[in-house]
Structures are given as structure tokens and as C-alpha cells.
Amino acid sequence: MQYAFSKTIDLSFDEAVNKVTEELKKEGFGVLTTIDVKETLKKKIDVDFKKYIILGACNPPLAHKALQAEEEIGLLLPCNVIVYEKGDKTGVAFFDPSIMANIIDNENIKSVADEVTEKFKRVFDNI
């Protein structure tokens, strides 16, 4: 099952994190959580890992709309975006919100997922 859309870009890791965050903001998303996987793995289990950040992106009006349509949709929120080292380049991947519509039989969730997907695709295209 395809659950993300991703690409490799020629920005440095830090530039990519900044660019993704900036483009998300243009589409009304804030970053609620930032998980530094490299730092967490080193701290918790003393493992060295590549630079890898998970950004928990949220568009409050759309999240509210989704929560009104399906109370337990919070299990799938916020929508995650990852930025990670990929050799001498940087990988970026977005969770495909249409997955929510595929697993939840609720037409209102489908319309929210379609809107989030459209916004994520614009961010994706601009990075």
C-alpha cells in the first residue's frame, strides 16, 4: 500500500527542514511536534543514526473539521512529514492523507483528507 509521497532534494538537511516548515506555514499548517530521531536514539539506546526529523503538521481548521466528523480521527493526527539524510542529499516524505479516507468509511473525512492532500501536494511541489 502506498502511504506517502516522497522525493530526494538537493538542499542540506537543515535547509530542507526550514523550507518544509516555511511551505507548510503558507498552507496554514503549524508544526506541533518535532521529533529528532537521531538525538532520541542516541539518548535512549546509544545508537548512532542519520539525521532524521519527524514533523507533526497540523492545520487547525481542518483538524477541527475532521474531529467533528470522526471523533477517533485523532489517532491519525497530526499528519507527519519526515526529513532525513539520504547520502549527500536530503529525503522528504509526506504522509498521504487519503489513507485516512481509505480506512475510515466517512464521506466527511474523505473531503477533509482531499483538502489536506491538495495542500500537502502544493508544499511538496514547492520544495
User: What is the domain-level CATH number for residue 66?
Assistant: 3.30.310.70
> What value does the CA radius of gyration of the chain take, rounded to a whole number of Å?
15
pLDDT (tens digit per residue) in 22-70: 999 999 999 999 999 999 999 999 999 999 999 999 999 999 999 999 9
Per-residue pLDDT at 93: 98
Sign of CA dihedral 41, 44, 45, 48: positive
Q: Please give the Cα distance from 42 to 11 (Å, whole number).
A: 25
Whether the per-residue pLDDT at 73 is higher than 90: the answer is yes
Per-residue pLDDT at 101: 86
Whether the per-residue pLDDT at 95 is higher than 80: the answer is yes
Domain range for residue 89? 4-126
Per-residue pLDDT at 106: 93
pLDDT over 70, % of the chain? 99
Per-residue pLDDT at 102: 87
Task: Please give the average per-residue pLDDT across 91-107, as a whole number.
Answer: 92
Total of domains in the chain:
1
Per-residue pLDDT at 30: 97
Q: What is the pTM of this model?
A: 0.93
Task: Please give the average per-residue pLDDT across 72-93, as a whole number.
Answer: 96
